A and B are shown apart, each in its own frame.
Chain A
Amino acid sequence: MLRLPRFSYLRPGSVAEAAQVLSEYGSRARVVAGGTDILPKMKRGQMEPEVVIGLGHLNELRGIRATEDGGFEIGACVTLSEVVASPELRAAYPGYVHAAALVSTPALRNSGTIGGNLCVDTRCNYYDESYEWRKALGFCMKKDGNICRVAPASATCRAIASSDTAPAAISMGATVVLVGPNGQREVPVESLYQDDGQFYMTKAPDEILTSLRMPSPGRWKSSYVKVRNRGSIDFPLVGVAAAIQMSGSVVEACRIVITAVGPQPLDVSQAAGALVGREIDDALLEEVATEAAKPARPLDNADLSYVWRKRMTRRAIEQAIREAAEVA
């Protein structure tokens, strides 16, 4: 079997200590919670930390708390299964909870955490293979090489944003708390990512994501649609989170966030402007979905053809809006 390489495992006593240790080791260290992303990648030589800093045992990173504004703060090490099992979260954020429920398999959701899913590595089928395979191919810029294999003319890596929960969190206007050596800061989830598959997160390497803050759902209704080849295990080929406020059958506001069609989740809510003040009908929905799908840039680095994935983006947007608005 593929073996884990040698590394030192540190078990800090607090988040502050973890942040301290992380800044000490810098790029030689990585934090691990559920381990479902990082451990296989270490086996394949995609990540080679000398030091792995465990977070999963820290109680301060666990727990789902109701906040004063009517929202919830979810600790970064709460597992995806715990989110799925929470009736309060399900009632408030059906899109987010559904997204969590669609991640991988039950076994991996029991281990994988919500913080880990927000930080999950971008994916590319020129990258997600063993060291020996990547050596045979000629390495790529994301690891050990200097060009993008799927888009050789690209100056940046085009690996695919693959978190199911990120777009759902963005659609609810959620923020995350980041703790670094110089204290903590709170940033919107959408600003956590950038258009670069290699350096896909904007947080500093020595910052630790400690919690997700979901604001009060208010009258927002939400949904998440995931397109994939199989009914389990697979990462999204297209992911669409929609949130909508209705007044009777008239749309008051609508947010749409798409993912897995480029290196970062994309907020395409602007295209949903055409819905505001109107009743949803097939023609309108098609127009909105066509517009909202325009920034999608799937490439030949995932399952099935990129033409199909592009077209399915439009379909998934339509479906997500229908589900959020509860119209057939």
Chain B
Amino acid sequence: MTTVSLDSSTDLRVIGKSLPKVDSVGKLIGLTAYADDIELPNTLYCKLLRSHHPHARILSIDSNAALAMEGVVAVITGEDLPIKYGIMPTSQDEHALENEKVRFVGDPVAAVAAVDEETALAACRAILVEYEPLEAIESIEHGLLPPTDEPIHDYAGPGNIHRMGALEFGEVDEGFANSSFIREDVFFYEGNTHLPMEQHSATATFVGDQLTLWSSTQNPHYVHRALARVFDMPMGHIRVVAAPHGGGFGGKSDPFSHEMAVCKLAMITGRPVKCTLTREEVFYVHRGRHPVLMWVRTGVAKDGKILAMHFKTALDGGAYGSYGPASMLYTGALQTTTYNIPAYRFEGVRVFTNKAPCGPKRGHGTPQPRFALELHLDKIAEAIGVNPVELRRRNYVKPYTRTINHLRITSCGIEEVTDRVVEASGFLDRKKRLGHGMGFAVSAYMCGAGLPIYWNRLPHSECIIQVNRGGVTLYCGATDIGQGSDTVLATVAAEQLGLWPTDVRIVSGDTGLTPVDLGSYSSRVTFMAGNAALQAAKEMREILVKAVAEKMECSPSEVMVGDGKIGELSFEEAAVLAEERFGMLSTRGSYAPPANIGGKFKAAGVGPSPAYSYSAAVIDLDADPYSGEIRLNKVWIAHDIGRSINTLAVKGQVEGGVYMGLSEAMMEGQLYRHGLHKQPSMLDYKAFTFKEMPEVETFLVETIDLEGPYGAKEAGQGPLLPVIPAVVSAVHDALGVWVDEVPITADKIMRAMDAKAKGREGRYGPKSFPNISYPTIVKVPPFDASSSAF
């Protein structure tokens, strides 16, 4: 791997090094206590009874037989938890336990606390629920039709439509009229799930009016708020602790039924109550990638410059709102962050269906349109006879510009990431032969959402640094879900304080002990919590330097900090000196994104970010013309990281994203049959093993963002995005057929080859896009440059 830095400063001591994560040893030797490792004295074990129907009215629930069983301590139903909740203010549509109707196979209706899991499970099976089945909605097309029984929800609508949006920026009709070439395509992206190694687990205690929940959650702050709502309790009486994580990827970002259930059961029984989901239940909890049907029409000038784009999406939301309103808008928001699109129209709809609820998964709402957009551009390039790299370069956004949909672009390494992968792979000089192909794609992703999920003016991230007894402790609400956020915070502080990252103790993800951080989603933690930590660390450095300068009788600027020393003193001596001089040593930092990074129109909240990362990928593969089987040879990935805080960790994130992207591109599907999940097990839900992983060559490009901590941007989500279209593009390069649908499996490729052999279009994918009554398009006026930072 090479790191190309566009910045010449080399005086950093720990930033940018390849170091083990600060929490890695505990994980390696098995000492880290994940949520399921938490065993408190006298714990009761909870199991949820889940619906066996995709859509049904609940006529009655009889839990007497369950309650009478030996070892059963409590049984609760929806009557015990009547207050609805949901992650977004506009979709408070979930009961912890459904009381009136169930909306998918797996929807919880009752919870049991018993002396062990076995008893709790037996008790669940003894609960009698009488259902009246309703028509189940199983597809986007079905969800768009008026329901024959009743809508899945009694809000939103019409019918099973959850949310719609229609926006136009610039003069789209005029753009098409001026175009010399126009193309339309239809794509489908199958839904898939996060598949974290760790199954969700939660333990609650209720002692002296204080509720404490330990959970494998990415967002303790939002869970905290949801608990306060559902239990009608003051926030100050609730503590949510994000336990060390075995993987989130977006799947642990919502407040969940099992979390509510253990809290309620702890209140009723006065004992700790624990619930760990089975793998099958994790598939039902889901909140994963939305299946999205997409239609895109683009007009270009003779030279391939985009003049207008019209993008339509239809999302299969599953049974609940979750992040859906945002997910829907994300399918239209970031197309403009890679390409200069002077006129852009977006129409989107999300429908409810009787499936496990969809939500955010790595790349939230953007891998689907990115897949469509990149392949669509490949097809345009082929049609007008321009190579696909050149077509893209002619349309790339420039650093420090505004997109047509008002997004602020700052540092932007899209040219550099393109250079790296194209040069290293020899993409432009590849030899054409049947069965071998290469594909290229680019993408961009946010470094944190510009706005919080619920409206408030609080900082998005806060941090406290305390120095006492000669040691440093950093408190931050950020949650390390394996992405390395604790390591980032420790490294940022260590750099300022002249220490090593492992010298900084991190206390994170605990609403009772740490100041707020909104959570580990939208790739926000390095940028936002990193900036909060940097502010606190700089202030602490000043205090220590001031004390030492007084003692050394010199100016603070003459005090060198580094290698465990502040001037002539060891860090520990300096810390004691400063504490003697100033009293208790505590500094703080906080971060909120600037206000002017997006537009002011309705729906403008989705898309703005203080910075965007850029990625490019080239994939080399062999595809068998008979069987359609793919053998991956190599992936080249380049990522504009802004500044690499810990190069080993960044590389891990980038390559993890490549792995996840390849697996979604080629195998994964959250498929349904007869109203239920087709394969809720890790044997039959196919995902890559390391045997499927090809060699990955990673390039980091450092654009040194002016607002990121030390110039850093995100790595957790962006690098997944170009991988998926690059695979499909490489298959086209190898076999001359288009598979306009992921996952791109051997049988789909075989069908495209069959069609080609019969003289039809060599293509597999959706034939058409449904006729959808989107709302009236809102024409958004151009961005007012006078209010801009540039």
A-to-B contact residues, CB < 8 Å: 1-3, 6, 125, 128-130, 132-133, 135-137, 229-234, 303-305, 307-308, 311-312, 315
Is B746 within 8 A of A308, CB to CB? yes
Is B684 within 8 A of A125, CB to CB? yes
Is A315 within 8 A of B627, CB to CB? yes
A304 to B748 Cα, complex, angstroms: 9
Is B684 within 8 A of A3, CB to CB? no
Q: Can you offer 27 A-B residue contacts whose CB atoms are under 8 A?
A: A1-B278, A1-B279, A2-B278, A2-B279, A3-B118, A129-B679, A129-B680, A129-B681, A130-B278, A130-B280, A130-B680, A132-B280, A133-B280, A133-B676, A133-B680, A136-B105, A136-B675, A136-B676, A229-B667, A229-B686, A230-B688, A230-B689, A231-B689, A303-B686, A304-B745, A304-B747, A312-B627
Contacts of B745 in A (CB 8 A): 304
Contacts of A135 in B (CB 8 A): 52
A125 to B118 Cα, complex, angstroms: 26
CB proximity of A78 to chain B, nearest CB, Å = 25
Which of A303, A307, A308, A315 contacts B684 (CB under 8 A)? A303
Residue of B nearest to A311 (CB): B750
Contacts of A130 in B (CB 8 A): 278, 280, 680
CB proximity of B680 to chain A, nearest CB, Å = 7
Is B683 within 8 A of A233, CB to CB? yes
Is B626 within 8 A of A315, CB to CB? yes
Interface residues of B in 481-539 (CB under 8 A from A): none
Whether B692 sits at the interface, judged by CB under 8 Å, is yes
CB proximity of B653 to chain A, nearest CB, Å = 24
Is A305 within 8 A of B691, CB to CB? no
From B118, B674, B747, residue with most partner A Cβ within 10 Å? B747
Nearest first, the 7 closest Cβ-Cβ pairs linking A and B are: A308-B747, A231-B691, A136-B52, A305-B747, A136-B105, A304-B747, A232-B691
A1 to B45 Cα, complex, angstroms: 12
Is A307 within 8 A of B747, CB to CB? yes
Contacts of A232 in B (CB 8 A): 689, 691
Whether B93 sits at the interface, judged by CB under 8 Å, is no
A1 to B684 Cα, complex, angstroms: 17
Interface residues of B in 166-190 (CB under 8 A from A): none
A304 to B746 Cα, complex, angstroms: 8
Contacts of A129 in B (CB 8 A): 280, 679-681
A295 to B679 Cα, complex, angstroms: 28
Is A132 within 8 A of B689, CB to CB? no
A307 to B753 Cα, complex, angstroms: 14
Residue of B nearest to A135 (CB): B52
Contacts of B677 in A (CB 8 A): 133
Contacts of B117 in A (CB 8 A): 3
- Bits for B747-769, please: 1 = Cβ < 8 Å to A, else 0: 10010000000000000000000
Contacts of A133 in B (CB 8 A): 280, 676-677, 680
Which of B50, B279, B676, B679 contacts A137 (CB under 8 A)? B676
Chain B: residues with Cβ within 8 Å of the partner, total of 36
CB proximity of A3 to chain B, nearest CB, Å = 6
CB proximity of B157 to chain A, nearest CB, Å = 28
A129 to B682 Cα, complex, angstroms: 11
Q: A128-B684, A135-B52, A136-B52 given as contacts; is B689 within 8 A of A308 (CB)?
A: no
Contacts of A137 in B (CB 8 A): 674, 676
Q: A133-B676, A136-B105, A312-B627 given as contacts; is B681 within 8 A of A230 (CB)?
A: no
B-to-A contact residues, CB < 8 Å: 50-53, 105, 117-118, 121, 199, 276, 278-280, 626-628, 667, 674-681, 683-684, 686, 688-689, 691-692, 745-747, 750
Residue of B nearest to A43 (CB): B278
Is A3 within 8 A of B121, CB to CB? yes
Which of A132, A304, A305 contacts B52 (CB under 8 A)? A132
CB proximity of A298 to chain B, nearest CB, Å = 11
Which of B53, B199, B674, B691 contacts A230 (CB under 8 A)? B691
Is B691 within 8 A of A125, CB to CB? no
Residue of A nearest to B678 (CB): A125
Known: A2-B280, A233-B683. 6 other contacts (CB 8 A): A3-B117, A128-B681, A135-B52, A230-B691, A231-B691, A234-B683
Contacts of B50 in A (CB 8 A): 132
A6 to B121 Cα, complex, angstroms: 13
Which of B52, B280, B692 contacts A231 (CB under 8 A)? B692
Contacts of B53 in A (CB 8 A): 136
CB proximity of B123 to chain A, nearest CB, Å = 14
A57 to B52 Cα, complex, angstroms: 41
A2 to B105 Cα, complex, angstroms: 18
Contacts of B684 in A (CB 8 A): 125, 128, 303
A136 to B678 Cα, complex, angstroms: 12
Is A1 within 8 A of B750, CB to CB? no
CB proximity of B616 to chain A, nearest CB, Å = 28
Contacts of B626 in A (CB 8 A): 315
Q: A136-B53, A308-B746, A308-B750 given as contacts; is B692 within 8 A of A230 (CB)?
A: yes
Contacts of B686 in A (CB 8 A): 229-230, 234, 303
From A3, A132, A305, A311, residue with most partner B Cβ within 10 Å? A132
Contacts of A305 in B (CB 8 A): 747
Is A1 within 8 A of B276, CB to CB? yes
Contacts of B675 in A (CB 8 A): 136
From B51, B675, B691, residue with most partner A Cβ within 10 Å? B691
CB proximity of B503 to chain A, nearest CB, Å = 38
Contacts of B691 in A (CB 8 A): 230-232
Is A125 within 8 A of B278, CB to CB? no
A3 to B675 Cα, complex, angstroms: 26
CB proximity of B106 to chain A, nearest CB, Å = 8
A42 to B379 Cα, complex, angstroms: 51
A135 to B691 Cα, complex, angstroms: 35
A106 to B295 Cα, complex, angstroms: 45
A129 to B278 Cα, complex, angstroms: 12
Contacts of A231 in B (CB 8 A): 689, 691-692
CB proximity of B668 to chain A, nearest CB, Å = 11
Q: A303-B684, A312-B627 given as contacts; is B689 within 8 A of A233 (CB)?
A: yes
Contacts of B279 in A (CB 8 A): 1-2
Contacts of A125 in B (CB 8 A): 678-679, 684
From A125, A133, A312, residue with most partner B Cβ within 10 Å? A133
A311 to B689 Cα, complex, angstroms: 25
CB proximity of B691 to chain A, nearest CB, Å = 4
A137 to B50 Cα, complex, angstroms: 14
A132 to B121 Cα, complex, angstroms: 11
A6 to B118 Cα, complex, angstroms: 9
CB proximity of A96 to chain B, nearest CB, Å = 22
A132 to B125 Cα, complex, angstroms: 9
Contacts of B681 in A (CB 8 A): 128-129
A234 to B687 Cα, complex, angstroms: 11
Contacts of B688 in A (CB 8 A): 230
Contacts of B628 in A (CB 8 A): 308
Which of B105, B199, B678, B692 contacts A1 (CB under 8 A)? B199
Contacts of B689 in A (CB 8 A): 230-233
Contacts of B750 in A (CB 8 A): 308, 311
Contacts of A304 in B (CB 8 A): 745-747
A53 to B684 Cα, complex, angstroms: 29
Residue of B nearest to A128 (CB): B684
A303 to B687 Cα, complex, angstroms: 12
Residue of B nearest to A6 (CB): B118
A308 to B681 Cα, complex, angstroms: 23
A125 to B676 Cα, complex, angstroms: 12
From A125, A136, A312, A315, residue with most partner B Cβ within 10 Å? A136
Contacts of A234 in B (CB 8 A): 683, 686
CB proximity of A130 to chain B, nearest CB, Å = 5
Residue of A nearest to B683 (CB): A233
CB proximity of B114 to chain A, nearest CB, Å = 13
A234 to B747 Cα, complex, angstroms: 17
CB proximity of A120 to chain B, nearest CB, Å = 14
CB proximity of B678 to chain A, nearest CB, Å = 7
Residue of A nearest to B49 (CB): A132
A233 to B692 Cα, complex, angstroms: 12
CB proximity of B575 to chain A, nearest CB, Å = 46
